[in-house]
Amino acid sequence: MSIQFDAQTKTFRLETLKTSYVMGISEYGHLLHLYFGKKIGNDDIRVLFAGKIKTGFCPVPNGCDKKYSLNTLPQEFSSDGVGDFRYPSITVVNSDGSYAFEGKYEGHRIYKGKYRLDGLPSLFANENEKADSIEIDLKDSVTGVCVTLYYGVFEEKNIITRAVTVKNEGSLPVSLRRIMSFSLDFRRSGFDFIHFYGHAYLERLTERQHVTHAACEISSAKGIPGHEHNPSVILCDSDATEDFGECYGAALLYTGNFLCGAKLDQFNQTRFVMGINPEKFEFILGCKDKFTAPEAVLSYSSEGFAVMTHQFHDIFRENACKSKYMKQRRPVLVNNWEATRFDFNGDKIVDIAIEGKKLGADLFVLDDGWFGKRNSDSAGLGDWTVNREKMGGELSDVIKRVNDAGLMFGLWFEPEMINEDSDLYRNHPDWVLKIPGRNPALCRNQLVLDITRPDVREYLIKSINDILDNNNIEYVKWDFNRYLTDVYSLLADSRHQGEVFHRFVLGFYNLLDSIILTHPDILFEGCSGGGGRFDGAMLCYQPQIWCSDQTDAVWRTKIQYGTSFAYPVSSMGAHVSACPNKKTGRTVSFKTRAAVAMSGTFGYELDTTKMTDQEKEECAHYTELFKKYYDIITFGDYYRLTSPFSNSGYCAWEHVSKDKSECLVTVVTLEALPQEHTAYIKPKGLDENAIYIIEGADIKLTGKTMMNAGIPFNMFIGQYESRQYYIKKI
Ligand code: GLA
């Protein structure tokens, strides 16, 4: 068992191969956080915490000794209103109006297997995989509010998950105003906070700041995680690098409003929290009601970011999504969006597909515009019936022609949205999120359906499943093209409007359960104006997510770099698009566009009917290369060799097969670099003593020589050019 409770010392130990996580019940019943980090001995480490900090102005709970303060001791789940002034893990407004929660240990359960959560996605253990769980109950004896902390331990993957439920075991209703999925206390400073910020067309750029007494905080109040911040962060030693230093990666499995923060307290101790954003959040818990907070995944490494990343990638690849496409090869697709936008008909679609086949594509995706009266973004959303006039007949006829050309067929949906100019809105104006007496804000001419309502979900499930069940559709792109405003549900009374944001997320997961899980043979790809909904929860349903609407290869090196810290390469939707790029006007060679898209799911997003034969041949060559390297890219270990944000003038990354027998190194020049310079690119993760050759070059070296001396890269190849080195053990 990877989880132990020592009744003598009242400590809990959670152990993975490389990590220890220790908690202890204090003499007064509070659950203290004793340690999380590199594996330690099985000692009684309470001695390390014997010296308490002097508690000037730090309250002492009634009945406790004078040096005992919740404000200074490391808490496992911090209380609120009773003496800890740092980030609370929970805020409860009790029936008498008081703001207080003080959880004391009540009991625990340790069991084999991974816990699951009601209504929310969570990681699972595979057959024959060792995973254990523990639930620890903390109860407020005055109000009866009971918090249960959940921990899942994936021993071999070095991953610990956390989640929380809150149950009202009192006799009067309480209002839950804040709930964090985890809180981690460190009795030290010296951390940096790394997060991934941006906007639509430029998601998950990397920012690193020192954790000080002023909070480092990121959040979303947009209803989805959004483009501006991502619910994956790293707390690390200030000198941590790819290969050095302690780092604590955290990813929240939640597709709604989130908050993550790290801050030093007055004694230079660090508290790190993550959970649902308390802004505009309130959940009323009647007697016996239970609230479930989302799961957080913690990946700890004592050896820098690369190991943390590999652990994240392995768990998201193997323990999040049950789609057959997690193991089975995924098709290379060609999508018509950048080629046609709304301006197409059935024949044009079939032509793009037929020419796409010449590029080596296996799947054609018909993007937005095939339904209702959808000829621009101002009409049709919500009307999930085929526009036969535009398609020149039945959808099934177009699909047949695409299938006859040798391609699978995929279709675009944006289920949670509605245009005012749609039959759905004309029939059900009350089905949208809007505040009585206000005109709701529009974004891309659309409103958001109130999917907290069962009748709205029923309509969506029926109309979408009808299309999926009556046509040979093998792929779905599920989009979401605006944030939530005017959040108010006609279904809820005024006391419960603070629940709507979260209920929207629950409604969304219910839609995914009823549409995605009922179609196990369809490959689903998530999307939200590119990567506005790129989070671990989505990866529990969809093997891949469109990374960004920014298809400029140079910007993509930065977007994919940031995305890679937590999320696997196999999840990053990446396509070759036409040049000059529609968003930046930049021209980049096919070779570089392909090299960058290969570090993702690979596909095409261009008008194949407008390409020359030579261009098609070139594309077919890159598709073939991608297919050749598919296993290393999709299932191998990913290394960031240099940062695209550095001033070296180039960036490099690498995919290494798990058995270290082969790897693919890609280098892209970000500037035109002078002739006299040769850069030495140092691959990582090779077998030190094995001999490797670089395909197409007369270089044969031991792994340790290659990794330490590097392989020469002639930088005089021009700006935005690239080289790929396929290295194989002999
Ligand atoms: C979003 C997506 C695009 C495309 C359009 C269609 O912006 O990110 O890829 O599907 O919607 O409207």
pLDDT averaged over every residue in the chain:
97
Residue 51, pLDDT score:
61
To the query of whether residue 615 is one of the catalytic residues in this protein, the response is yes
Instruction: Write down the catalytic residue from 535, 552, 637, 721.
Output: 535
Q: Residue 262 pLDDT > 80, yes or no? A: yes
CATH 1.10.240.10 is held by the domain 87-318: no
Give me the percent of the chain exceeding a pLDDT of 70: 99
Q: Is any ligand 1 atom within 6 A of the Cβ of residue 547? A: no
Report, in angstroms and rounded to the nearest whole number, the Rg of the chain calculated over CA atoms: 27
Residue 647, pLDDT score:
86
| pLDDT tens readout for residues 91-108 | 999 999 999 999 999 999
Look up the CATH number of domain 639-729: 2.60.40.1180
Query: What separation in Å is there between the alpha carbon of 320 and the centre of ligand 1?
Result: 25
Q: Which one is the CATH code of 330-637: 3.40.47.10, 3.20.20.70, 1.10.540.10, 3.40.50.300? A: 3.20.20.70
pLDDT (mean) for 533-544: 98
CA max distance for the chain: 83
Q: Which residue has the tokens 């991953």?
A: 159
Residue 46, pLDDT score:
86
| pLDDT tens readout for residues 10-53 | 999 999 999 999 999 999 999 999 999 999 999 998 888 766 67
Residue 112, pLDDT score:
98
580 upstream amide cis, omega within 30 of 0: yes
Q: Is any ligand 1 atom within 6 A of the Cβ of residue 479? A: yes
| pLDDT tens readout for residues 559-581 | 999 999 999 999 999 999 999 99
DSSP state at residue 38: E
Q: Which residue has the tokens 């993957």?
A: 157
| pLDDT tens readout for residues 352-364 | 999 999 999 999 9
- From 367, 524, 534, the mutation candidate for ligand 1 (largest count of ligand atoms within 8 A of CB) is 367
**Hey, is 676 helix, strand or coil?**
coil
pLDDT (mean) for 643-655: 95
By alpha-carbon position, which residue is closest to atom 3 of ligand 1?
Answer: 529
Q: Residue 428 pLDDT > 90, yes or no? A: yes
Residue 66, pLDDT score:
86
| pLDDT tens readout for residues 189-215 | 999 999 999 999 999 999 999 999 999
User: Residue 236's pLDDT band (boundaries 50, 70, 90)?
Assistant: very high
Q: H or E element: which one contains 132?
A: strand 131-139
Give me the percent of the chain exceeding a pLDDT of 90: 96
pLDDT (mean) for 233-257: 98
Distance CA(649)–CA(688), nearest Å, equals: 29
Of residues 47 and 429, more confidence is placed in 429
Q: H or E element: which one contains 454?
A: helix 454-469
pLDDT (mean) for 124-138: 97
CA distances from 589 to 238, 466, 506, 581 (A): 38, 42, 44, 11
Contact 124, 114 (CB under 8 A): yes
Q: Residue 675 pLDDT > 80, yes or no? A: no
Residue 50, pLDDT score:
63
| pLDDT tens readout for residues 685-724 | 999 999 999 999 989 999 999 999 999 998 889 999 999 9
Domain spans in the chain, listed from the N-terminal domain onward = 87-318, 330-637, 639-729
By alpha-carbon position, which residue is closest to atom 2 of ligand 1?
Answer: 529
Q: Is any ligand 1 atom within 6 A of the Cβ of residue 380? A: no
Q: Is any ligand 1 atom within 6 A of the Cβ of residue 203? A: no
568 upstream amide cis, omega within 30 of 0: no
Residue 52, pLDDT score:
67
